[in-house]
Amino acid sequence: MSALVYVRDQLGNGCVPRFDRARRRADPRSLWYRRNEQVDAAVEAALRCTEAGLPVTVVAIGPERVDWLLKHYLAAGATAAVRVWSPDLDHVELDDSLAASLMEGVIEQLRPDWIWLGDDDHGAVAVHLAELTGRVLAISVVDVTGRGHELELDRRLDRMTERVRLTAPGIIAVKRGAALRYPSHRDRLAARQQAVTVLDAGAALDGIVHGRHPTVTAITPPKPPTTRRRELSGADDRVAELILGGTGGGHSQVVEDTVPNMARLAVATILDRVNSTTPTNPTTGDSP
């Protein structure tokens, strides 16, 4: 029973990209990276669900820069690392379907029983892979039990957990799970010596990129969130004024009053917000 984990890193929390608008990209010198929690959880799940001695290969798409990530997962217990790259990828947008198409090439070569991914943004690479390979898929996975050919998974749907059984070959996108094991110093040193296999994506790209969808036309720093919900039903006037008056942009409504008055206003404001999203049981439609 072999496993392949598609891994990627993500921008550091405090990283502030500098934008090169003419080239529609961020200046690479302004970027720094950290590990992605969901990918960590996927690697850990793959290590736990694969029998000892069987291969767990971590695969990343990217330039030499991403080797640090592959080496970290090697140190944590992955048995091999593959990096897919072509300088041509510098000039195209690596969207979900392109990432899936490149991964498909690796999957054809390695033929893993299980493919693991972090369900970090949209789970979309996993879905595209399922469409390309015809494997059974589970996204939004929060717990995995079992080992080998058959696994039991908990998938988190909207406020509901669904338990599913998957039989290999399959694709699993992990949203949450156990923390990645901490590699020892010795394992880190050993991983440094391990080679990363580099696969040239050039040939695959020729076939894939031609006739692709519209690409990004502009990239800018995100706007501060201004899209507060604006509809209010049944709230009293002062509450409506409080919520609608707040812009979230440095102009909050400041209330100084007696404790009972503030409690009344705070509760009315809170209940107005909470009642518009009262949790319900999606299977029965009943409130819990």
Partner 1 sequence: MNAGDGRIRVLIETAGGAITPLSASLLHLAADLAESRDLAVHAVMYQALSHPHDLAAAAGRYGASVVAVPETEMDAIDLTAALVSDRDQDPGLLLTSATAVGREVAARVGARLDLPVLHAATAVEWRDGRLVVSCPALDGKASARTVIDAAPTLGAVVTVAEGAFSGVEIDGRPPARIEPLHRAETDAPWCPRPHVTGRALTPVDELGLDEVDVVVAGGMGLGGPEGFSLLRELAELLGGRVGASRMVTDRGWISTDALVGQTGATVAPSLYLACGISGAPQHVIGMRDSATVIAINTDAHAAIGQVADVLFVADARKLVPAMIELIERDRSNLAGTQA
Stretch of 42-50, 64-72, 117-125, 197-205 contacting partner 1, by CB under 8 A: 117-125
Site for partner 1 in 194-233 (CB under 8 A): 213-223, 225, 227-231
> In terms of CB distance, is 10 or 79 closer to partner 1?
10
Interior/surface letters 187-202, b for 16+ CB within 10 angstroms, e for the rest? eeeebeeeebeebebe
State in angstroms the smallest separation of the CB of 238 from partner 1.
11
State in angstroms the smallest separation of the CB of 209 from partner 1.
14
> In terms of CB distance, is 109 or 217 closer to partner 1?
217
Run of H or E residues at 188? helix 185-193
Per the listing, tokens 């809170």 go with 270
Q: List the x/- string, 21-50, binding to partner 1 by CB under 8 A.
A: -----x----x-------------------
State in angstroms the smallest separation of the CB of 79 from partner 1.
27
Q: Does 135 bind partner 1 (CB under 8 A)?
A: yes
> In terms of CB distance, is 189 or 262 closer to partner 1?
262
Run of H or E residues at 161? strand 160-167
Site for partner 1 in 69-98 (CB under 8 A): 96-97
| Alpha carbons 85 and 102: distance in angstroms, whole number | 9
Using CA atoms, how far residue 155 sits from 36, 131, 142, 176, 212, in Å, is 20, 19, 6, 10, 32
Stretch of 11-19, 42-50, 76-84, 194-202 contacting partner 1, by CB under 8 A: 11-19
Burial of 239 (0-12, 13-18, 19+ CB in 10 A): buried
> In terms of CB distance, is 197 or 275 closer to partner 1?
275
DSSP secondary structure of 75-120 = HHT-SEEEEEE-GGGGGS---HHHHHHHHHHHHHHH--SEEEEE--
State in angstroms the smallest separation of the CB of 180 from partner 1.
16
Is residue 7 within 8 Å of 59, Cβ to Cβ? yes
Q: List the x/- string, 231-260, binding to partner 1 by CB under 8 A.
A: x----------xx-xxxx-x-xxxxx--xx
Q: Does 137 bind partner 1 (CB under 8 A)?
A: yes
| Alpha carbons 279 and 286: distance in angstroms, whole number | 9
Q: Does 123 bind partner 1 (CB under 8 A)?
A: yes
Candidates 54, 94, 160, 189: give the one binding partner 1 (CB under 8 A).
160
